[in-house]
Chain A
């Protein structure tokens, strides 16, 4: 039992953090909103750091890591509001292709790891498919089967969302025996794993988003003067910001625990993923609301960068299961007769 990241994991995260600080400025985020090629070029650079292939085995050119390593990287992409297919490809698509195995994995894993292929995954929890328009490979579901379809074989319709960095599409396509990669229980298993990984990824990004929103709000409160003093000296604002910090720091271990649960495949992993998403998204929502209030009118402008992270916080709430969905999953576990809850049940059996 050791609830801490290794030096290697911390180093990997801080390397990505430094990279994004330089390469993914707020100005750049705005520029990438309508620059598909720019996103691709950013994705290639991230491939050099190992992000797209973090969960791809080393034999296919990936990093061969697990969710415990990826979670900190995802957090950094949230901190930078990185407008790239991190969740769809690195966190969900790559391990799905890996787990599906067979010719699909053979054909795509190396390309994913190299940053040459973007994967979009449709899931019943998401009415639209993120990054479908830019994807090379789409994993789509139909009845009880799962299909892999190339971009050229689908018709996509963009559904502009509140966050311009969020690329949502409706997808029209035709399943065929040739596109089918799994059916029945196998398909359900892959989809369930995708949902858990998607929820964890959103949670990890939400941590980074919340942390950045808090940092921006604190910086503004330190610098903005009213009544002849920094507004950050007023308890009315201090206590709001302190509450954000409390929510954020108590979401963190929940998200990290879920990364362990998914990496080790323990029985309660779905409950852990749901709890992680609920805790992190709640922290991000509170951070967004508070940061806006601390900034006042300037925070309500398009020019101020604050909304880059606010919009991210809002959109993460919906992806891979909303609050109601995840609360219900946790409730079903907690309220079941004989549920393993209470002191001594926090950590899984090996």
Chain B
């Protein structure tokens, strides 16, 4: 066990810090769930990519920097430390990208990965359907093979980033006689294909962070199938593993929130209600614990290990920590915490209200925390199936 960074890792950090200091926009970008904000964020991604920092852990041939996962974590720390913009293509860069690297053909890798890295193509997720939420195996959207095309029919919903994305990845039923997890295929769908209709949905914060997507005999080439036909469930589970287990929510995000929470408490120490001090410190400790666990996971992956069901532990931990941090912040702010940032009396409220609303989605997206607890119980602890 060696928990000191090497001189090379220190140099990598310094290089990342210097680039970010020179390039991160001085004023925060507008939300990427608005049309203007989405444009700003794509522009930022272009800049990041031109600087060679868009995809730190990817191979150079696919538009990455060819660094390892430890260096990626260092970059993430510097990224959040610099207050750099959110990643509009997080579905592509953190979820689909690793999945294509694992399951894609050489042609698919060459075709899709560089444009994911540059965010020239922004991706949406297409898992949930109106009647397939937590029960994802109840998917009924179909992909019928006709010549060298899939013909898609059905509806996806809660497609994150769907409103401003170019492409969608998702599961479609390719074997009409199949049930549940079998007979599904992972398909990559251009959202501008004829027969695809995107209808944005306003979220709890009023912005169109997700969308419902309708498929009326939309045609996509069979070449857009990722992984084996009718074995899409396995591909999707690998994607979910990246999402829950490592890439989507790097520890720096929560450490950054924890640090801001500490600052908020210190600025409001005199007026903060009782108990906030302990809660602030506990949040900081949990954010550290999450960071430590992530480095442990990365050490295991670098030694040839894989992400397994323990990804469900992560997802519960970070999502519930995020809610707790924001709740604590709002308690510290008292009545000010309920004010929109433009309210005249809203001084020093930061973006805690918005952040809190978003944090409430954490225990729901990427598989509800109840589903994660089922996974832990059955797959890790070995308890009997509950249904």
**Which residues of B from 126 to 183 have beta carbons under 8 Å from A?**
none
**Which residues of A from 231 to 248 have beta carbons under 8 Å from B?**
232-235, 238-239, 241-243, 245-246
Q: Can you spell out 14 A-B residue pairs with CB atoms less than 8 angstroms apart?
A: A1-B299, A3-B292, A3-B299, A4-B303, A229-B384, A233-B384, A233-B385, A238-B374, A242-B377, A250-B293, A278-B285, A335-B262, A339-B262, A344-B78
- B266 smallest CB distance to A (angstroms): 6
Alpha-carbon distance A238/B265, docked complex (angstroms): 36
**Which residues of A from 1 to 51 have beta carbons under 8 Å from B?**
1-6, 9
Residues of chain A lying within 8 A (CB to CB) of residue B27: none
Q: Are B289 and A279 in contact (CB under 8 A)?
A: yes
B2, B284, B310: the one within 8 Å of A341 (CB): B284
Q: B5 an interface residue at 8 Å Cβ cutoff?
A: yes
Stretch at the interface among B54-62, B99-107, B218-226, B252-260: B252-260
Chain B contact residues, majority secondary structure: helix
Interface size on A, residues (CB 8 A): 55
Q: Are A343 and B252 in contact (CB under 8 A)?
A: yes
Q: B295 an interface residue at 8 Å Cβ cutoff?
A: yes
Q: B347 an interface residue at 8 Å Cβ cutoff?
A: no
Q: A68 an interface residue at 8 Å Cβ cutoff?
A: yes
Q: A260 an interface residue at 8 Å Cβ cutoff?
A: yes
Alpha-carbon distance A350/B6, docked complex (angstroms): 9
Residues of chain A lying within 8 A (CB to CB) of residue B9: 1
Q: B86 an interface residue at 8 Å Cβ cutoff?
A: no
Q: Are A250 and B383 in contact (CB under 8 A)?
A: no
- B261 smallest CB distance to A (angstroms): 10
Q: B215 an interface residue at 8 Å Cβ cutoff?
A: no
A-B pairs, top 7 by smallest CB distance, nearest first, are A342-B259, A238-B377, A253-B292, A343-B77, A343-B252, A242-B376, A242-B373
B1, B252, B290, B383: the one within 8 Å of A238 (CB): B383
Q: Are B265 and A335 in contact (CB under 8 A)?
A: yes
**Which residues of A from 218 to 240 have beta carbons under 8 Å from B?**
218, 221-222, 229-230, 232-235, 238-239
Q: Are B383 and A218 in contact (CB under 8 A)?
A: yes
- B267 smallest CB distance to A (angstroms): 12
Q: Are B3 and A218 in contact (CB under 8 A)?
A: no
Q: Are A254 and B292 in contact (CB under 8 A)?
A: yes
Q: Name the residue on B nearest A245 (C-beta).
A: B376
Residues of chain B lying within 8 A (CB to CB) of residue A301: none
Q: A136 an interface residue at 8 Å Cβ cutoff?
A: no
Q: Name the residue on B nearest A328 (C-beta).
A: B281
Alpha-carbon distance A266/B328, docked complex (angstroms): 31
Q: B327 an interface residue at 8 Å Cβ cutoff?
A: no
A interface, CB within 8 angstroms of B = 1-6, 9, 68, 214, 218, 221-222, 229-230, 232-235, 238-239, 241-243, 245-246, 249-254, 256-257, 259-260, 264, 275, 278-279, 327, 330-331, 334-335, 337, 339, 341-344, 346-350
Q: Are B258 and A327 in contact (CB under 8 A)?
A: no
Q: Name the residue on B nearest A232 (C-beta).
A: B383
Q: B217 an interface residue at 8 Å Cβ cutoff?
A: no
Q: A250-B293, A343-B252 are in contact. Are A2 and B78 (CB under 8 A)?
A: no
Q: Are A232 and B384 in contact (CB under 8 A)?
A: yes
Q: B380 an interface residue at 8 Å Cβ cutoff?
A: yes
Residues of chain A lying within 8 A (CB to CB) of residue B317: 246, 250
A242, A275, A335, A348: the one within 8 Å of B381 (CB): A242
Q: Are A2 and B377 in contact (CB under 8 A)?
A: no
Residues of chain A lying within 8 A (CB to CB) of residue B296: 3-4, 253, 256
Q: B342 an interface residue at 8 Å Cβ cutoff?
A: no
* Bitwise interface map of B from 285 to 327 toward A, beta carbon under 8 Å scored 1, else 0: 1101111110110111001000000100100110000000000
